[in-house]
Structures are given as structure tokens and as C-alpha cells.
Amino acid sequence: MLDMLQTIVVTLLTLAILVAVHEFGHFWVARRCGVKVLRFSIGFGKPLLSWSDRSGTEYVVAGIPLGGYVKMLDEREGPVPDELVEQAFNRASPRSRIAIAAAGPLANIVLAVFVYWLVFLNGVSGVAPVVSKVDVGSLAEQAGITAGQEFLTVDGEPTPTWEALQMQLLERIGENGEVHFTMRSADSDVVTENVVTLSDWMHDIEEPNPVRELGVTLFVPEVVPKIETVVAGSPAQLGGMQTGDLVVAADGQSMGTWQEWVEYVRQRPEESVSVLVERDNRQLILNITPERKLDDESHAYGYVGVGVAMPAWPESMQRTMQYGVVGAAVAAVDKTWKMSAFTLSSIKKMLMGLLSPKNLSGPITIAKVASSSVQYGFFAWLTFLALLSISLAVLNLLPIPVLDGGHIVYALVEWATGKPVAEQVQVWANQLGLVLVVFVMVFALYNDVLRL
């Protein structure tokens, strides 16, 4: 219940920030272009809270927090008093209308830059992408990549961390051609170049993992089954297990890693397990009966209620990038540019059939990711907020009627021809655009449900 409440609160907060910034962009520029703003609303539906300023603009917080809007004076939506005609949106110049429409997405871009600036100012850390294992017959093996090597660059772009490596590879989804890697072994200064040839790479894979698709497993420290936490009232506590215990064996079978212990327990719901643990340099035998639980597919598994003590990464593999005020700003602009280009490229590949449409996500996935990012800390959530803000900006700039990009196209046509687009044409185009947007939203929601 608490997890669901957290998910709802975090999701609403995230959406409220994105919508407020986006609509404020429209609002701020509209006023400076001499257009009268009638209402600034966060959310749709019945107002929960409202107030007005001296200019007559009504500010609203509404009950359906899935978007927002700025309503401007417009002769096409009703009669306008003669003294206010010049403040109507439809009377504004094409240049002003383009500025007003573009201001929302640009505000989201500015938000992304600011958020990334905060993240980079705090410092960015990660771990080096060092190869632990290469699958037989994989693309990586064919390219001569071997265990112990570290990925230095992909197509000339540095990859100091796991995240950087994943992002560079994700940009090649659905493509053909060569990918050039530079690699270095931990015990050598010799840098080698390895080439992988792609053919429609991962174009039909849902939730692709490019490193694994290369046939590479990256190094992680071995996690031994040393207990760090014991849930109160759990089978583990009832069986006498304590923090600091090292699981040595279960029913006489050696438990060398945490994963072995987890799998052994999961396979034995409601079965008594004799567990040999090491505590304070002495060994004890505990009898623990895993509780029976059901996973998302209603399969039973065993649960004892313990958490593992995570090992530290080798210092040689830790990567920390520190930035000053100016350096963080430069890095933030660069990151925003790259993520915007990546988002636009992904949309293009999806339309061309080079990227599976199953990767399209809707509100449920956004809610889950927003909530889980908070669990990793404030700056993880900020990073997710920046990514969503970029996605919102790019999507709204697409030349689709009813979106900001559609309004920009109308104004550009009028600017070029000296005549506005026929009202009936706009009505038809807007209806078509609305159908398209609703279809995409429904399809994204369908993908969310399938993931559940």
C-alpha cells in the first residue's frame, strides 16, 4: 500500500513539474507577444483550486493531473470585445504564433539543461565497462573481444561507464554496418580496435539490452551470501538467522554465491531447509522454512526475508567525473542535445520499422520508473525528470496537428504564403492529428499492460 502511494505521489509530482514548466513557456511568451491569456491550468476537469491576477488570467489546479493547457483569447472560439480584438491569438503575427507554440517545448529543454546541470554539479559516478565473459559464437567473439578487456570508446565516443556504453550502443539499434570499439586489457597499456558488423540489429527486440546482444557479460564483484538485513517476523528471523551471518551450505549443498542461495530458497516454498551459517568464527545449523509466495505469473516461490551485504567495487574500476559551474553547464547542454537527438532518432526508427513499437511506453511505465528512480536517490530521479522533459519537448515539436509542432506548421505556411491555412483544412487536420495522438497513447498503454 505504501509503495503504491509513493508511486502515485512521485508520478503526480513529476508530471506536475513537467506540465507546469511547459505551459509556463507558452504563457510567458504569449503575454510578451501581446496575447491575452484567459486561463493557465495544471490538469484537466473540474478545478480544485483557482485564483485570478490583475490581468484577468485565471490560474487553475484541476482534478485530472494528466496534462495542462493555456487558454488564450481567440476569435475562433467565441465573440471577442472590440477593445480586446488586438490581443486575440488569431490576430497575432505568424512569427508571434510560432514563438508562442515553440515556447512550451523550449521551456522543457531549458528545464532539462538546468536539471542536468544540477546532476553534473553534484558529480557523476559509475563503474568501468570491463568484460567478464564473452559468449561463444557471439558478435563480440567474432570481433575478437575477450574477457578482461575494458570498452574505451564506441565509434570514437568515450565510454567510461556502463551507462555511457549502453547509450552509445542503443543509438545503433536497427542499423546495418560496422561498429568500431577501442579496447584495453587491465594488465596492459596496449589499445586494440575491434569491429562488429551489424545487420538490422535488435530491430524486433522488446526492451533491448545491447551489451548482452553483443554476447558480452560485464564484470560485477562476486556477491557472497552474507546477510545484511533480516525482515522482522520473517521465516529467517523465526529460524534464528541474524545480521552478519554467512550462509555456507543448505541441506549439505555448498552456497558459494548469493544467487545460488536465492535460487535454492525460491525452489523450496514451505519446505524445511537445514542452513549452515558462519557467525563470529563459529558454525551453526539453523532450520528455516521458506514462506510460499506467488510471482506476477502466479508461480509459487520460496521467501525467507533476508537482504545481502553488497560488495564494494574495486577502486580501479570506479569512475567519478567532477565538474565546476561552467563545466557542468557545458556537459548539461551536450547531454540534452544528445538525448534530444537520440529521442528523435528513435521515433524515426520506429516509424521506419527499425525499432520495435513494443518499446513505446505509457503512463504506467512512467509511474513505475519514476517511483523506482526515487529509491535510488534524489539525483537519479532528477535524471529521469530531465529525460522525460526532453521527450515531452521533442514529441510536442513533431509536425502533427493539435501538437505545438502542428501550430508551428500552420504559422509557417501563413508566413510563407501570406494567407492563413483554410479553417476547414485545420479542422480536418486537427481531427486526424487527435486520432493519431489518441491511437499512440492507447498503444503505449497497451504495451504497459502487457509488461505488467
Task: Domain of residue 444: give its range.
Answer: 113-123+322-452
Annotated active-site residue 23? The verdict is yes
Asked if residue 337 and residue 211 are part of one domain, the reply reads: no
- Listing DSSP states for 300-340 in one string gives EEEE--EEE-PPPPPGGGEEEE---HHHHHHHHHHHHHHHH
pLDDT at residue 38, as a whole number: 93
- Does 205 score more than 90 pLDDT? no
Best CA proximity match to 100, nearest among 23, 15, 43, 20: 23
Distances (CA, A) of 151 to 158, 216, 321, 394: 9, 11, 17, 31
Q: Which residues touch 417 (CB under 8 Å, ≥6 apart)?
A: none
Catalytic: which of 23, 222, 270, 423? 23
Average pLDDT score over residue span 352-379: 72
In this structure, is residue 426 part of a structural domain?
yes
Cα(12)–Cα(67) distance, integer angstroms: 10
Residue 298 pLDDT > 90, yes or no?
no
Is the pLDDT assigned to residue 125 strictly greater than 70? yes
CA distance 284 to 296: 35
Q: Decide which of 288, 321, 354 is a domain's last residue.
A: 321
- The domain tally of the chain equals 3
Burial class (CB in 10 A: 0-12, 13-18, 19+), 112: buried
* Residues 176 and 316 placed together within one structural domain of the fold: yes
Give the confidence band of 448 by pLDDT, cuts at 50, 70, 90: low
Domain end call among 241, 276, 308: 308
Q: Is 266 exposed, middle or buried (0-12, 13-18, 19+ CB in 10 A)?
A: middle
Residue 428, pLDDT score: 92
Q: Is residue 102 part of a domain?
A: no
Alpha-carbon distance values, 7 to 12, 44, 436 (Å): 8, 21, 29
More confident residue, 443 or 237: 237
User: Same domain, yes or no, for 180 and 216?
Assistant: yes
How many residues would you count in the chain? 452
pLDDT at 451: 60
Do residues 402 and 371 lie in contact, with contact meaning Cβ atoms separated by under 8 Å? no
What confidence score (pLDDT) does residue 290 get? Answer: 94
Residues 156 and 185 occupy one common structural domain: yes
- 388 and 275 within one domain: no
Cα 452 to Cα 450: distance, rounded to the nearest angstrom: 5
What percentage of the chain reaches a pLDDT higher than 90?
53
Q: What pTM value is reported for the model?
A: 0.80
Amino acid at 151: F
Residues 117 and 133 in one domain: no
State the Cα–Cα distance between residues 419 and 413, nearest whole angstrom.
8
**Do 205 and 316 sit in the same domain of this protein?**
yes
The residue type of 15 is L
Task: Give yes or no: residues 332 and 452 share one domain.
Answer: yes
175 shares its domain with 316: yes
Report the candidate in 189, 181, 192 with the shortest Cα–Cα distance to residue 216: 181
Res 436 pLDDT > 80: yes
Q: Could you tell me the CATH number of the domain that includes residue 168?
A: 2.30.42.10
pLDDT in tens, 244-294: 999 999 999 999 899 899 999 999 999 999 999 999 999 999 999 999 988
